Amino acid sequence: MSEVVKSGRRHGVMRLVDATGYRLPLAGVVSILHRISGMLMFFLLPFILCLLDKSLASEYGFYAIRSLTSGWFVKLVILALVWAYLHHFCAGVRHLFMDLHYGLDKHTARKSAASVLAISLTLAALIGLKLFGVF
Amino acid sequence: MANNNIGPKRLVVGAHYGLRDWLAQRVTAIVMALYTVLLLVLFLTGSNFSYEGWAGIFAHQWFKMATFAVIVCLLYHAWVGLRDVWMDYVTSNVFVRLVFQVATILWLVACAGYAAQILWRV
Protein backbone atom coordinates (compact mmCIF):
# COMPACT_ATOMS: atom_id res chain seq x y z
CA MET A 1 0.00 0.00 0.00
CA SER A 2 2.71 2.46 1.02
CA GLU A 3 4.61 1.61 -2.13
CA VAL A 4 1.60 2.67 -4.19
CA VAL A 5 1.24 5.96 -2.36
CA LYS A 6 4.95 6.77 -2.65
CA SER A 7 5.59 5.95 -6.26
CA GLY A 8 2.10 6.95 -7.38
CA ARG A 9 2.29 4.39 -10.14
CA ARG A 10 2.65 0.66 -9.85
CA HIS A 11 3.05 -1.62 -12.81
CA GLY A 12 0.93 -4.70 -13.38
CA VAL A 13 -2.60 -5.67 -12.46
CA MET A 14 -4.62 -3.46 -10.11
CA ARG A 15 -4.94 -4.98 -6.66
CA LEU A 16 -7.96 -4.91 -4.38
CA VAL A 17 -6.29 -2.42 -2.03
CA ASP A 18 -5.62 -0.06 -4.95
CA ALA A 19 -9.36 0.09 -5.60
CA THR A 20 -10.12 1.46 -2.14
CA GLY A 21 -8.59 4.82 -3.07
CA TYR A 22 -11.34 5.65 -5.56
CA ARG A 23 -14.68 7.30 -4.82
CA LEU A 24 -17.16 5.17 -6.74
CA PRO A 25 -20.05 6.57 -8.78
CA LEU A 26 -23.52 5.15 -7.99
CA ALA A 27 -23.26 2.61 -10.82
CA GLY A 28 -19.94 1.49 -9.31
CA VAL A 29 -21.53 1.07 -5.88
CA VAL A 30 -24.30 -1.05 -7.42
CA SER A 31 -21.69 -3.08 -9.29
CA ILE A 32 -19.52 -3.91 -6.29
CA LEU A 33 -22.60 -4.66 -4.16
CA HIS A 34 -23.75 -7.02 -6.94
CA ARG A 35 -20.51 -8.91 -6.42
CA ILE A 36 -20.64 -8.83 -2.63
CA SER A 37 -24.29 -9.95 -2.53
CA GLY A 38 -23.54 -12.77 -4.97
CA MET A 39 -20.61 -14.00 -2.90
CA LEU A 40 -22.62 -13.76 0.31
CA MET A 41 -25.34 -16.00 -1.15
CA PHE A 42 -22.70 -18.38 -2.52
CA PHE A 43 -21.08 -18.82 0.89
CA LEU A 44 -24.39 -19.12 2.74
CA LEU A 45 -25.88 -21.59 0.24
CA PRO A 46 -25.46 -24.60 2.61
CA PHE A 47 -27.23 -22.59 5.36
CA ILE A 48 -30.18 -21.87 3.02
CA LEU A 49 -30.32 -25.53 1.98
CA CYS A 50 -30.13 -26.57 5.63
CA LEU A 51 -33.19 -24.41 6.42
CA LEU A 52 -35.03 -25.97 3.46
CA ASP A 53 -33.93 -29.46 4.56
CA LYS A 54 -35.12 -29.13 8.15
CA SER A 55 -38.36 -27.37 7.21
CA LEU A 56 -39.32 -30.14 4.76
CA ALA A 57 -37.98 -33.20 6.59
CA SER A 58 -40.72 -33.38 9.23
CA GLU A 59 -43.35 -31.38 11.05
CA TYR A 60 -41.05 -31.39 14.08
CA GLY A 61 -38.24 -29.92 11.95
CA PHE A 62 -40.60 -27.29 10.54
CA TYR A 63 -41.39 -25.98 14.01
CA ALA A 64 -37.77 -26.37 15.13
CA ILE A 65 -36.77 -24.04 12.27
CA ARG A 66 -39.44 -21.61 13.42
CA SER A 67 -37.93 -21.42 16.88
CA LEU A 68 -34.37 -21.32 15.51
CA THR A 69 -35.21 -18.37 13.27
CA SER A 70 -36.75 -16.44 16.14
CA GLY A 71 -33.27 -15.65 17.50
CA TRP A 72 -31.99 -12.16 16.63
CA PHE A 73 -28.69 -13.36 15.12
CA VAL A 74 -30.34 -15.83 12.74
CA LYS A 75 -32.87 -13.13 11.86
CA LEU A 76 -29.99 -10.78 11.04
CA VAL A 77 -28.36 -13.42 8.80
CA ILE A 78 -31.69 -14.00 7.04
CA LEU A 79 -32.15 -10.24 6.59
CA ALA A 80 -28.65 -10.03 5.06
CA LEU A 81 -29.62 -12.82 2.66
CA VAL A 82 -32.92 -11.09 1.84
CA TRP A 83 -31.07 -7.86 1.04
CA ALA A 84 -28.48 -9.79 -1.01
CA TYR A 85 -31.19 -11.48 -3.06
CA LEU A 86 -33.13 -8.25 -3.63
CA HIS A 87 -30.05 -6.29 -4.61
CA HIS A 88 -28.70 -9.06 -6.85
CA PHE A 89 -32.13 -9.38 -8.48
CA CYS A 90 -32.61 -5.64 -9.13
CA ALA A 91 -29.04 -5.05 -10.27
CA GLY A 92 -29.33 -8.16 -12.46
CA VAL A 93 -32.48 -6.86 -14.17
CA ARG A 94 -30.62 -3.56 -14.76
CA HIS A 95 -27.78 -5.61 -16.27
CA LEU A 96 -30.17 -7.42 -18.64
CA PHE A 97 -31.64 -4.13 -19.87
CA MET A 98 -28.14 -2.77 -20.46
CA ASP A 99 -27.25 -5.93 -22.40
CA LEU A 100 -30.15 -5.01 -24.71
CA HIS A 101 -28.56 -1.53 -25.05
CA TYR A 102 -31.20 0.27 -22.98
CA GLY A 103 -30.10 3.05 -20.65
CA LEU A 104 -26.43 3.00 -21.49
CA ASP A 105 -25.86 6.77 -21.37
CA LYS A 106 -24.34 8.25 -18.24
CA HIS A 107 -27.44 10.07 -17.02
CA THR A 108 -29.85 7.13 -17.41
CA ALA A 109 -27.30 4.67 -16.01
CA ARG A 110 -26.96 6.82 -12.89
CA LYS A 111 -30.71 7.05 -12.49
CA SER A 112 -31.20 3.29 -12.90
CA ALA A 113 -28.39 2.64 -10.40
CA ALA A 114 -30.13 4.94 -7.90
CA SER A 115 -33.40 3.08 -8.56
CA VAL A 116 -31.76 -0.28 -7.89
CA LEU A 117 -30.43 0.96 -4.54
CA ALA A 118 -33.73 2.63 -3.63
CA ILE A 119 -35.91 -0.39 -4.49
CA SER A 120 -33.69 -3.07 -2.93
CA LEU A 121 -32.98 -1.11 0.26
CA THR A 122 -36.64 -0.11 0.75
CA LEU A 123 -37.91 -3.66 0.25
CA ALA A 124 -35.14 -5.06 2.49
CA ALA A 125 -36.04 -2.50 5.18
CA LEU A 126 -39.74 -3.41 4.98
CA ILE A 127 -39.01 -7.13 5.21
CA GLY A 128 -36.56 -6.42 8.05
CA LEU A 129 -39.24 -4.56 10.01
CA LYS A 130 -41.66 -7.43 9.42
CA LEU A 131 -38.97 -9.96 10.39
CA PHE A 132 -38.26 -8.22 13.71
CA GLY A 133 -41.96 -7.94 14.42
CA VAL A 134 -42.39 -4.15 14.17
CA PHE A 135 -45.65 -4.68 12.28
CA MET B 1 -3.30 -10.47 -42.91
CA ALA B 2 -2.22 -8.32 -39.99
CA ASN B 3 -5.04 -5.87 -40.76
CA ASN B 4 -7.61 -8.57 -40.11
CA ASN B 5 -6.88 -8.36 -36.40
CA ILE B 6 -8.04 -4.76 -35.87
CA GLY B 7 -11.08 -2.69 -36.69
CA PRO B 8 -14.70 -3.74 -37.13
CA LYS B 9 -13.81 -6.77 -39.21
CA ARG B 10 -11.17 -8.14 -36.87
CA LEU B 11 -10.43 -11.83 -36.99
CA VAL B 12 -12.21 -13.46 -34.09
CA VAL B 13 -10.28 -16.34 -32.64
CA GLY B 14 -10.62 -18.59 -29.62
CA ALA B 15 -13.01 -21.23 -28.34
CA HIS B 16 -15.92 -18.75 -27.84
CA TYR B 17 -16.38 -19.93 -24.27
CA GLY B 18 -16.45 -16.29 -23.19
CA LEU B 19 -19.67 -15.74 -25.15
CA ARG B 20 -21.05 -19.10 -24.07
CA ASP B 21 -20.58 -18.35 -20.38
CA TRP B 22 -21.82 -14.77 -20.76
CA LEU B 23 -24.99 -16.03 -22.43
CA ALA B 24 -25.41 -18.91 -19.98
CA GLN B 25 -25.19 -16.50 -17.06
CA ARG B 26 -28.01 -14.38 -18.53
CA VAL B 27 -30.24 -17.32 -19.47
CA THR B 28 -29.84 -18.91 -16.03
CA ALA B 29 -30.57 -15.50 -14.44
CA ILE B 30 -33.87 -15.27 -16.36
CA VAL B 31 -34.81 -18.84 -15.33
CA MET B 32 -34.13 -18.03 -11.66
CA ALA B 33 -36.06 -14.76 -11.92
CA LEU B 34 -39.09 -16.63 -13.34
CA TYR B 35 -38.83 -19.17 -10.51
CA THR B 36 -38.76 -16.26 -8.03
CA VAL B 37 -41.99 -14.95 -9.54
CA LEU B 38 -43.50 -18.46 -9.23
CA LEU B 39 -42.52 -18.60 -5.54
CA LEU B 40 -43.98 -15.14 -4.96
CA VAL B 41 -47.27 -16.15 -6.61
CA LEU B 42 -47.41 -19.32 -4.46
CA PHE B 43 -46.71 -17.25 -1.34
CA LEU B 44 -49.22 -14.50 -2.11
CA THR B 45 -52.00 -16.90 -3.13
CA GLY B 46 -51.22 -19.39 -0.35
CA SER B 47 -53.56 -19.94 2.55
CA ASN B 48 -52.04 -22.90 4.36
CA PHE B 49 -48.83 -21.74 6.06
CA SER B 50 -48.46 -24.84 8.19
CA TYR B 51 -46.07 -27.74 7.60
CA GLU B 52 -48.69 -29.57 5.45
CA GLY B 53 -49.04 -26.56 3.16
CA TRP B 54 -45.27 -26.12 2.82
CA ALA B 55 -44.47 -29.80 2.25
CA GLY B 56 -47.53 -30.08 -0.02
CA ILE B 57 -45.96 -27.71 -2.55
CA PHE B 58 -42.82 -29.84 -2.68
CA ALA B 59 -44.80 -33.08 -2.93
CA HIS B 60 -45.56 -32.46 -6.61
CA GLN B 61 -43.09 -34.08 -8.96
CA TRP B 62 -43.19 -31.12 -11.39
CA PHE B 63 -42.25 -28.75 -8.56
CA LYS B 64 -39.31 -30.96 -7.53
CA MET B 65 -38.10 -31.03 -11.14
CA ALA B 66 -38.54 -27.28 -11.62
CA THR B 67 -36.71 -26.57 -8.36
CA PHE B 68 -33.87 -28.90 -9.28
CA ALA B 69 -33.56 -27.29 -12.72
CA VAL B 70 -33.29 -23.90 -10.98
CA ILE B 71 -30.63 -25.31 -8.63
CA VAL B 72 -28.60 -26.44 -11.66
CA CYS B 73 -29.04 -22.95 -13.18
CA LEU B 74 -27.84 -21.47 -9.90
CA LEU B 75 -24.81 -23.75 -9.99
CA TYR B 76 -23.78 -22.59 -13.46
CA HIS B 77 -24.65 -18.94 -12.76
CA ALA B 78 -22.66 -18.88 -9.52
CA TRP B 79 -19.75 -20.68 -11.17
CA VAL B 80 -19.44 -18.00 -13.88
CA GLY B 81 -19.75 -15.24 -11.28
CA LEU B 82 -17.25 -16.69 -8.84
CA ARG B 83 -14.83 -17.50 -11.67
CA ASP B 84 -14.98 -13.82 -12.69
CA VAL B 85 -14.30 -12.77 -9.12
CA TRP B 86 -11.28 -15.10 -8.78
CA MET B 87 -9.98 -13.97 -12.20
CA ASP B 88 -10.22 -10.33 -11.08
CA TYR B 89 -8.78 -10.58 -7.58
CA VAL B 90 -6.58 -13.68 -7.43
CA THR B 91 -4.02 -12.54 -9.95
CA SER B 92 -0.61 -13.08 -8.42
CA ASN B 93 -0.55 -16.86 -8.62
CA VAL B 94 -2.30 -18.99 -11.22
CA PHE B 95 -2.06 -22.09 -9.03
CA VAL B 96 -3.81 -20.36 -6.11
CA ARG B 97 -6.56 -19.23 -8.49
CA LEU B 98 -6.95 -22.78 -9.78
CA VAL B 99 -7.36 -23.99 -6.19
CA PHE B 100 -10.08 -21.35 -5.63
CA GLN B 101 -11.84 -22.32 -8.85
CA VAL B 102 -11.76 -26.05 -8.09
CA ALA B 103 -13.01 -25.37 -4.55
CA THR B 104 -15.87 -23.30 -6.01
CA ILE B 105 -16.92 -26.15 -8.31
CA LEU B 106 -16.75 -28.72 -5.51
CA TRP B 107 -18.76 -26.43 -3.20
CA LEU B 108 -21.48 -25.92 -5.82
CA VAL B 109 -21.70 -29.56 -6.91
CA ALA B 110 -21.91 -30.64 -3.27
CA CYS B 111 -24.72 -28.13 -2.67
CA ALA B 112 -26.61 -29.37 -5.75
CA GLY B 113 -26.33 -32.95 -4.46
CA TYR B 114 -27.66 -31.86 -1.06
CA ALA B 115 -30.55 -30.06 -2.79
CA ALA B 116 -31.45 -33.20 -4.78
CA GLN B 117 -31.50 -35.24 -1.59
CA ILE B 118 -33.76 -32.70 0.16
CA LEU B 119 -36.18 -32.52 -2.77
CA TRP B 120 -36.69 -36.22 -3.41
CA ARG B 121 -36.98 -37.20 0.24
CA VAL B 122 -40.22 -35.24 0.76
The pLDDT assigned to B18 comes to 83
CB pairs under 8 A between A and B: 58
Among A66, A64, A62, smallest CA distance to A78 is for A66
* pLDDT tens, position by position, A44-75: 999 999 999 999 999 999 999 989 889 999 99
The pLDDT assigned to B1 comes to 45
For residues A101-107, give the mean pLDDT.
Answer: 94
Chain A: give the shortest CA distance to residue B1, in Å.
30
* pLDDT tens, position by position, B13-61: 666 778 899 999 999 999 999 999 999 999 999 888 899 999 999 999 9
- Cβ–Cβ gap B107/A45 under 8 Å: yes
- Among A45, A56, A58, the residue with its CB nearest the CB of B58 is A56
- Cβ–Cβ gap B121/A92 under 8 Å: no
Name the pTM for this structure. Answer: 0.87
Tell me the pLDDT band of B11, cut-offs 50, 70 and 90.
low
Report the Cα A117 to chain-centroid distance in Å: 10
Q: Is B77 annotated as a binding-site member?
A: yes
Tell me the pLDDT band of A5, cut-offs 50, 70 and 90.
low
Report the Cα B20 to chain-centroid distance in Å: 14
ipTM of the complex, rounded to two decimals: 0.86
Angle between helices B51-59 and B61-89 (to 10 degrees): 90
- Cβ–Cβ gap B122/A89 under 8 Å: no
Chain A: give the shortest CA distance to residue B5, in Å.
24
For residues B84-93, give the mean pLDDT.
Answer: 89
Q: Please report, as a single letter, which amino acid is at residue B61.
A: Q
Chain A: give the shortest CA distance to residue B106, in Å.
12
Measured from the Cβ of residue A120, the count of other Cβ atoms closer than 10 Å reads 23
**CA dihedral of residues A44, A45, A48, A52 (deg, nearest 10):** -160
Q: Residue B4 pLDDT > 60, yes or no?
A: no
The pLDDT assigned to A23 comes to 87
* φ and ψ at residue B65, rounded to 5 degrees: -65, -45
